[in-house]
């Protein structure tokens, strides 16, 4: 492991449990390998506009035909793709909002999924081009939803990563955070233990 990309998507920023737990994992990996290069992107407060028809069209235009605004948008999308392409490991911090992924995380995936760049279509179906990477998803939620039909976050993230070519995914579930102080503290303590164990295993 030489390059790690951490993606935080909580609206609560640095104080979010998902962010803090992802930080703990990254700190453990960095302690095991001080040469590890870490890039951190916080989507919760970022100016990352959702895709619309104009922005989608800009991606298909030749560079000389793009307006200054279109060129700036494409440059941002290209930079996001380069960050993922350079990383060996992705750490995604994602709270569950209304049974799904934060819209900021969805937008990030929308920027990444570009035909001919991060995936291509073949006679047997799409093939992801961002291969040779592994990912960890740290997902927090107020209730208990693991393995239940209402959990649309984990299947979505798993599907999108695999679509882009990243099929090795570990998930740290942190559940019951809104069920009272006792369940919350128990869930956080279990998560810290799981994260510390995972950091040792990934660094081995």
Distances (CA, A) of 99 to 21, 86, 92, 142: 20, 31, 17, 10
Question: Which token pair is 115?
Answer: 């035909």
Give the pLDDT confidence of 144-171 residue by residue, as tens digits. 999 999 999 999 999 999 999 999 999 9
**Can you tell me the distance from the alpha carbon of 138 to that of 183, in angstroms, rounded to the nearest whole number?**
18
- Report the pLDDT value the prediction gives residue 140, as an integer from 0 to 100: 98
DSSP state letters, 155-174: HHHHHHHHHHT--EEEEEEE
CB-count burial class (<10 Å; 0-12, 13-18, 19+) for 22: buried
**Can you tell me the distance from the alpha carbon of 146 to that of 167, in angstroms, rounded to the nearest whole number?**
20
- Report the pLDDT value the prediction gives residue 45, as an integer from 0 to 100: 75
Give the pLDDT confidence of 83-99 residue by residue, as tens digits. 999 999 999 999 999 99
In degrees and rounded to multiples of 5, residue 200 shows phi and psi of: -65, -45
Domains of the chain: 3-203 (3.40.50.360)
In angstroms and rounded to an integer, the radius of gyration of the C-alpha atoms of the chain is 18
pTM for the full model? Answer: 0.94
């Amino acid at each position: 492991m030489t390059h790690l990309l951490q993606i935080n998507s909580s609206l609560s920023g640095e104080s979010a449990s998902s962010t803090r737990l992802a930080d703990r994992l990254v700190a453990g990996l960095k302690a095991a390998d001080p040469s590890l290069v870490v890039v951190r992107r916080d989507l919760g407060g970022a100016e990352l506009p959702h895709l619309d028809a104009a922005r989608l069209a800009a991606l298909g235009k030749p560079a000389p035909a793009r307006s200054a605004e279109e060129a700036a948008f494409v440059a941002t999308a290209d930079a996001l793709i380069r960050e993922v392409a350079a990383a060996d490991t992705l750490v995604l911090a994602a709270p569950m909002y209304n049974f799904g992924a934060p819209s900021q995380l969805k937008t990030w995936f929308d920027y990444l999924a570009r035909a001919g760049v991060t995936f291509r279509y073949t006679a047997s179906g799409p093939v992801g081009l961002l291969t040779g990477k592994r990912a960890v998803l740290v997902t927090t939620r107020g209730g208990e939803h693991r393995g239940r039909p209402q959990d649309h976050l984990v299947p979505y993230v798993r599907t999108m990563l695999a679509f882009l070519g990243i099929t090795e995914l570990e998930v740290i579930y942190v559940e019951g955070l809104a069920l009272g102080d006792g369940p919350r503290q128990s869930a956080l303590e279990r998560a810290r233990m799981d994260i510390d164990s995972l950091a040792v295993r990934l660094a081995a």
